[in-house]
Amino acid sequence: MVYKYVIDTFSNSTVETQFTILFVLNTILAIIAYKLGFAKKLPLLKSLFVYLLLIIGVGLLVFVFQFLIPAITDSQPLPITESLVAICLVLGIYRFRLHRERKAKQTE
């Protein structure tokens, strides 16, 4: 759905522009998902390394699953962006409930 929207909206632009938009959107969602569910307090250099690997991984995912495989097999791209939105929502709800539960324990 997001892929189709980006492709339809930017149909007059180049593939590089479409890739960049999807890459930035997926990177932002992946960083949010990482921070909500998996991030630990790390030193600065280690955090930069983790985010660099995250950015490289997202770039590979977008290129392979949303551009390369659909072009080769003439199929629909995988819903990476939609999956990241769902992951962020679930992790956000989990963190919110965890925060409320911890706050309720503190008031007791």
DSSP code per residue over 51-74: HHHHHHHHHHHIIIIIIIHHHHHT
pLDDT at 16 over 80: yes
Alpha carbons within 13 angstroms on the beta-carbon side of residue 14 total: 3
Q: Domain segments of the chain: what residues? A: 2-107
What pTM does this model have?
0.85
Write out pLDDT tens, residues 20-63: 999 999 999 999 999 999 888 889 999 999 999 999 999 999 99
pLDDT at 97 over 90: yes
